[in-house]
Amino acid sequence: MTLAAATQLAVATNEHLASMSNTLIYSAMAVYTLAFFAYIAEWIFGSRSKVGRTANALTAGAADTVQRVSRPAVTVQKAGGTAVLERPKVVVRSATGSRDVPDGPGAHGGDVQGDLYGRIAVSLTVLAFVVQLAGVVARAASVQRAPWGNMYEFSITFTAVAVGVYLALLGLKKNVRWLGLFLTTTVLLLLGLAVTVLYTASDQLVPALHSYWLYIHVSTAIFCGAVFYVGAVATILYLFKDSYENKLEAGIKPGSFASSVLERLPASASLDKFAYRVNAAVFPLWTFTIIAGAIWAGDAWGRYWNWDPKETWSFITWVAYACYLHARATAGWKGRKAAYLAMIAFACWLFNFYGVNIFVSGKHSYAGV
């Protein structure tokens, strides 16, 4: 046996690090579960004392808007000796399609006890993130390569990056703690799917993946997906919050459960703006991801574009997000219409990851399931 062959065998059979990685991933799931319950406690035990004032302000603002719409001011000007009546333009909604409504107090509802549970939840999320990141690194060290050669590895890395994006936004003093409960729920579901259905034993890559482009192309794809996920959650919450504000504006009293949750979120305009900014910020990097993949395809397969299912759906995802960003810059396609486009775009990204890898055969069939 040659030295190169012995080294390859040693790398491929480092079961100790692979087992350590599995243990760390399960440990991270346990800590995420504790964080999930802490986020639940933040929402449940947080006081609604400050939340009610937000709804009252919205109702009062809606009534004032209706009053101004029903009795618009009229001015009289003279042009060439002829009286001209000018009715001013009444702006009922903002440019994003939402009222000028203050943001909610947050998941804790402005309560000290609720805020304490929220801080505990964030601390547990940080701990789980560190443990999960160690599991990803151990997986990489077990075969001395990038830890995203199959869907299992992609899943554990993607969820870690998504949590990292959330914690980074918190570190930048962004008011995004409302995202914590939805994030931990999704992370637990994806990790549960990864360790059961998608699990693949630690092994070496197929020859086509032995390239430095693996580190560039796949890492940017993972990061883009994590940011697109954050934007998708904000978009979904925007749709619910916008519907809730519409009901209040129409004088309809929403249910107590919807009120207790939606009143604490940022205003629909804030959620809409947040979703747009994160999607717009990462879209150039997604463009680079597709270009980098094409260059890698040229090196590996001799052609820059093969209309492989993964390539095709990556391009479809790019077109969908481009349409969303264009719609946001076009009058008449703001607010809910643009939000629906954003959800279609993220659905394309999800199908590109799960659907193409599991149900469609192609040159990118490295799912390992």
**For 179-188, 200-209, 217-226, 256-265, which range has the lowest pLDDT when averaged over its residues?**
200-209
Work out the pLDDT band at 168, boundaries 50, 70, 90: very high
Q: Which residue type, as a one-letter code, is found at position 81? A: G
Kindly report, residue by residue over 60-97, the tens digit of the pLDDT: 444 444 333 333 444 444 444 444 333 333 333 444 44
pLDDT of residue 364: 54
The residue that leads in pLDDT, 19 or 62, is: 19
Give the side-chain half-sphere CA count within 13 A for 273: 13
For 186, list phi and psi in degrees, rounded to 5. Answer: -65, -40
Answer yes or no: are the C-beta atoms of 123 and 180 closer than 8 Å. no
pLDDT of residue 129: 97
User: What is the distance between the alpha carbons of residues 165 and 170, in angstroms, rounded to a whole number?
Assistant: 9
User: What is the distance between the alpha carbons of residues 162 and 152, in angstroms, rounded to a whole number?
Assistant: 15
pLDDT at residue 357 is higher than 80 = no
Work out the pLDDT band at 355, boundaries 50, 70, 90: confident
- The runs of H, that is alpha helices, within the chain are 3-12, 15-45, 51-70, 112-143, 151-171, 179-196, 213, 219-249, 256-262, 268-301, 309-328, 336-350, 356-359
pLDDT at residue 175 is higher than 50 = yes
For 75, list phi and psi in degrees, rounded to 5. Answer: -115, 155
For 220, list phi and psi in degrees, rounded to 5. Answer: -70, -35
User: What is the distance between the alpha carbons of residues 230 and 352, in angstroms, rounded to a whole number?
Assistant: 17
Work out the pLDDT band at 331, boundaries 50, 70, 90: low
Burial class (CB in 10 A: 0-12, 13-18, 19+), 304: middle
- Residue 61: count of CB within 10 angstroms of its CB: 16
Question: Rg of the chain's alpha carbons, rounded to an integer?
Answer: 25
User: What is the distance between the alpha carbons of residues 261 and 246, in angstroms, rounded to a whole number?
Assistant: 16
pLDDT at residue 157 is higher than 80 = yes
User: What is the distance between the alpha carbons of residues 180 and 35, in angstroms, rounded to a whole number?
Assistant: 9
Enumerate residues 6+ apart whose C-beta is below 8 A from 303: 297
